Structures are given as C-alpha cells and as structure tokens.
Structure 1
C-alpha cells in the first residue's frame, strides 16, 4: 500500500518548527540527520511522515516494544513495514529484562528513553524527535498545576533538552492532535490507537476528558503559555547559575543571598543543601529536589537559624553558614 504525499504547506511548517527546535539547542548549527521515535500511534506516524518528507534520506526510526502488551510486536512490525515503504531504516527495540513493579507507566517511560537514547547515540543522529504535541502539553500543564508545581514543573514538556548525550527535540508542540491524525488519514498511512490512552485509571486520561469538556480552554493557547514559562525558567536558571558561581565558596563561608527574590533564594538554598550534604557525606534524612524547604526559607527570611535535611543553617550579617546538624537527643 502506497502512502500519499503530504501537503507542501504542512512539510514547510514542520521544517520551520524543526529549525526553531535546533536553534533552541544553542550548540547545534543545522538540521541534518535525525532519529524518530515511532510508537505506531497517529501522532508518531505523522511525525515520521513529516520527517521523511522534510529530510529525505536523513531519517532513521525506532519503535520500542515494551513487551507489556501482546499487540506490541505487531505494532512494531506495522511501523517497520511503513518505514520500508518510505525508505527509512527502522529498528525495533525491547528491554533486556521485563518491566515490572509499581508505577508501571513511569518504569516503561524510563526503559523507553534509555533504549531510544542508546540507539540514537549508536546511529550518530543530531537529534532524536518525539511526537509530543499541543494537546499533550496542555494536559501536562493542567496536571502539574493541580500538583502545585513550581516554574520548572510548569515548563512541562521542553521543546529541546538533553537526555544524557542525546538532544531530544519536540517539533510538534504547536500542532494539535486532531490535525496530526487528519494528516495521517489523508496520507493513507497505517496507525493504531493505544488502548491505554482511554484507560480512566491514568491521570492523563482523566485530565484529557476534563479538557475536552471545557471548550473555552484552548490547548494550543495553553501550550503557547508553556513555551513562555519555559523561557522564564531558562532565564532564572541561568541567573541562579551565575549567582552560585559568584557567591558560593563552601558551606563554612557566608552565602550572601538573603537579599535576592524568594525564587532565587529557593533554588540557591536547595543547591547549598545538596552541596553541604555531599561535602559532609550526609545521607539521612533523605533530601531530593522535590523536598519541601518552604519552612526553612520562612525561618531564614525571619533571620532565624533552622535545621533541615541534616544541615544546620545559621544566619549571620555576612550571609548564611551551613554546618552539620547536631544529632537529635534521645528521650
């Protein structure tokens, strides 16, 4: 079965989006050879068709069979057949050991990205493309708003980021799910609908239904807002990095950041806690980037010392000092 050519306007739009994604990556000068992650769903098939039309002869594709569904092997074979018709080299990837345990979706995602980035490195592609689109972005934003995420979390799906040594690009973040599906149907390309996308046990499925029930919310506009949030996040992250390099001299030297805005203090304090714990080999209590440090920030703002995550933070005129917290007295 042949695949009909895509509209020239759609291909031109995709090329522009792809170039913008490469420009965001800063250290990549030009679009050349790319890898495409293709699950077999309409979104990723649309990405494959667009990439093959935009960069003929410079596209390779891979499908991950998580071995969690019996249909996974057939879907991978379907993608392989489509790639053969398009003249795109294809690989089917599978985990070496079964994916088991709790949080199965998270574990599957981790396995998928590990397989794909390893494959992309071996293929020597300039970037690995995934088919996240505007509806995905809007759903992710709403899910994270509901979890009271900060700016980094609300930046949601990044248009360009690195996973290990692999550049990940999402050139479809301004495209709607419906238009991608229509593109695939008009081309006559095969695709499958993942049954998990309709499973109400998943948070995303419930958010997707809620979004569909509120036509006043425009997923494309929400996705555009995420782009602005991501730009703000990048600017604040760079400023945080500059202040850290200028002001941090070690836990026992004053860290003079008390006059900075709270968001900068939050990031710098978290980093200082990590650095102090690493220097003094503090393993317990546990401390991660998601640990709540708001009470500590409040105490320091009131010029009161406090203890958090095994670290005692003292307030001095010259700045904060970080020490190993004394052991708790037993009753």
Structure 2
C-alpha cells in the first residue's frame, strides 16, 4: 500500500554506513536529506557525472553545495555513458551509473566501508517500469519490476521509497524548503519513460486512482511466481545435469523445458535467448530423436549445439 514519505523513512533500517545515490533531483535530494538527519555521520552521497549534458558540471556543483550544507561527504565519479549501437540510451546510462556507484562505495576503507546503497526510485518509477515491461512483451522477471532490496558484489541495494508516490516525495521536500535540480532530460518525450510519465500516468490517475497500489501488487505476484520457477529450474538442472542431457530434457513438459533452458543459459553462460530463439530451440529439441540428428542454432550472442547426448552452448 502507498505510504507517506515519513512512513517509508521510519521503516527504513539499513546496515550502516550508508551511501545515497545523489543526482541532485527532487527524489534523491529528499532521500539524502532524510538519511543525513536520521543517521548523522553515517551517510555519504555518491554522484555520477554522466558526461551527456552540458549542464552536468552545474549538477555536480549543486550537489557539492547541498552536501556541504548537510555536512555529508560527497564522492563524484565521471563516466562515459554513451550508448552502443542497438543499446537504449537509458540502459547505457543506468549500467554506467550502477557500476560507478558500486565502485565508489567499495572504495571506502575499514570502518567507513559502505554496507548499503540507497536509491530514490519511487512508486511512479515502479509503475513506469512495469508499463515498459508490458510494452515489450516481458515475462515474469520483467513484470516483477524493481525489487525493494537486492545484493550484488558484497553490497546491499535498497529502494526505500518504492511505496511513496512522486507527489508524496515532492510534498515532503517542499515542506523542508530544500532546493533541487530539475533535469531537462526528464521531460524530453523522445524517451519512452518520459512519455509514460507525461501522458499515461495522469490518465491512469483519472481512471484508476489506486493504480500505484494495484500495479505494485501485480508486480509482487509476478515476483513470487518467478521465485517458484527459479526454484524449479535449479532443481531440474541439478537432476538433468550441466550441460543438460537431451533425453532427460525431452521428458519434461515444454514449459518446464523452457524454464530450465532460460536458467541454464543465463546462470552458466550469461546468455539470454529471445522468445523466437527459445521457441525454435524447443522445436529443435523435440525433433532430436535419432543419434544422427544435428542441432546448431544461434541463441543469445552464441550458439546452441548438440554434442552427443547433451545440449551445449558456445560463443565463437
């Protein structure tokens, strides 16, 4: 259920010391201000300079001024967030940002070593993420949207504001009299997420006022179902073997084969098949009934191939 900003922060009890991802925008300013008040001397701010906007240097100077006022240390990392051909600009910037934040946090030595990274994404961001996933025909991992907490590389990442609306964050911040940056890229409707924010969210608010709560509930259901599928895939792969034995694979239902193959390819080879590739692979496996039947097809960035009794994958 949607919470107020104060309720969300009262419930947030991270392992300390804590790093707050700080862009200078309204959401991260509110999160940094609240964390600095709640845990004085236990919080640092990390700012990523993406190098994508002429105003980036101004953003950095603003963040430094805010942190000086709050007596919070600021760490800044400059990155090259330009996207590669075929990669979305948003995905490239997000990947660069997370890598930089983790590097800054892990650079803290000894007793100052960061335990938790807090990120200021809120309930509206969660809805946008779900709608983007739906627009792409995503499966359960995509429909699960953003996790409130996860671990990676020895750090715990938290999104304590996922149940707070954007307006709830800004109302709290306004009451504090704090200043923040309005990033012009956030209203550029060339980006799909911004079109969703500007056009779809107001329409959803008019038609379904509780949409933040109901959409979040659907994402939680998807996440729970995905967790079950993950457990099944782990058990099936342990029983069938790595690489998977083709005859044992064929004994499973086709949905269960697909679930195991996704898990095997991602967990062992960091490969993600497209829906079309996975369907073709399942068809090829079904036809693989004789010793001489060959199988060789592109999956992800590599190839699945039959090697005797097993299905293998390689990247040439």
Assess same fold via TM > 0.5: yes
Cα deviation for residue 41 of structure 1 reads 0.9
Question: Equivalent residue for 1:48?
Answer: 32
**C-alpha contact 1:273 1:311 (8 A) present in aligned 2:** no
**C-alpha contact 2:106 2:114 (8 A) present in aligned 1:** yes
Question: Equivalent residue for 2:228?
Answer: 235
Cα deviation for residue 256 of structure 1 reads 4.4
**Structure 1 residues 13 and 131: CA distance shift in structure 2, 3 A:** closer
Question: Equivalent residue for 1:145?
Answer: 134
Q: CA RMSD in A?
A: 3.1
SS of 2:126's partner is: helix
Question: Equivalent residue for 1:177?
Answer: 166
Matches within 5 A, 1:91-170: 91-95=75-79, 99=82, 102=85, 103-123=88-108, 124-170=113-159
**Residue range with higher mean Cα deviation, 163-172 or 297-306:** 297-306
TM-score (norm 2): 0.80
Matches within 5 A, 1:178-257: 178-208=167-197, 209-214=199-204, 215-217=206-208, 218-251=211-244, 254-256=247-249
How far apart, CA to CA, are the structure 1 residues paired with 2:313 and 2:90?
38
Cα deviation for residue 98 of structure 1 reads 7.2
How far apart, CA to CA, are the structure 2 residues paired with 1:211 and 1:220?
13
Question: Unaligned stretches of 5+ in structure 1?
Answer: 1-8, 23-30, 279-286, 315-319, 326-331
**C-alpha contact 2:288 2:294 (8 A) present in aligned 1:** no
**C-alpha contact 1:296 1:306 (8 A) present in aligned 2:** no
Question: Unaligned stretches of 5+ in structure 2?
Answer: none
How far apart, CA to CA, are the structure 2 residues paired with 1:293 and 1:100?
27
Cα deviation for residue 260 of structure 1 reads 4.8
**C-alpha contact 1:175 1:220 (8 A) present in aligned 2:** no
Question: Equivalent residue for 1:67?
Answer: 51
* 1:322 has 2:311 as partner: yes
SS of 1:293's partner is: helix
How far apart, CA to CA, are the structure 2 residues paired with 1:147 and 1:164?
29
Cα deviation for residue 243 of structure 1 reads 2.4
TM-score (norm 1): 0.76
* 1:14 has 2:6 as partner: no
How far apart, CA to CA, are the structure 2 residues paired with 1:257 and 1:14?
50
